[in-house]
Amino acid sequence: MKKMIVGGLAAFAAALGIAAAGCGRCCPAKCPTSRRIPAVSDELIGCVGSVMTATRGAAVLGEVMLAVAGHQQAYLAWSAEPLDRGERVVVIGTRGLRTVEVEPWNDLGMTLWG
């Protein structure tokens, strides 16, 4: 019965010309895939984060944590120079899905307020 209702809702939405969000395998209103955060985009460029796993320059990937859409997410990271764990970095580019290019971030101890 539940499948008929969900299928009926999808058919009703299609008849009205309403595009249903989601994967199509479950109820669009409850579909977790309709709320996914993009893996990598140009919006990441300029984001500041911290090194979780040290990099060894261009030879070995590291890992950084970035705040994306209000959530902390881990990304693989390339850097031109070695970076230690805990160091602040800024994203300067992207390399495919879930991989960013970073360089050290020096905020010079400046704050915008107070």
Pick the CATH number of 42-104 from 3.90.180.10, 3.40.50.300, 1.20.140.90, 2.40.50.140: 2.40.50.140
How far is 56 from 63, CA to CA, in rounded Å? 11
**Model confidence pLDDT, tens digit, residues 32-51:** 444 455 555 678 899 999 99
* pLDDT, tens digit (0-9, with 9 covering 90-100), for 51-69: 999 999 888 999 999 988 8
The Cα–Cα gap between 65 and 112 comes to 23
User: The whole model's pTM is what?
Assistant: 0.59
Where in the chain do CATH 2.40.50.140 domains reside? 42-104
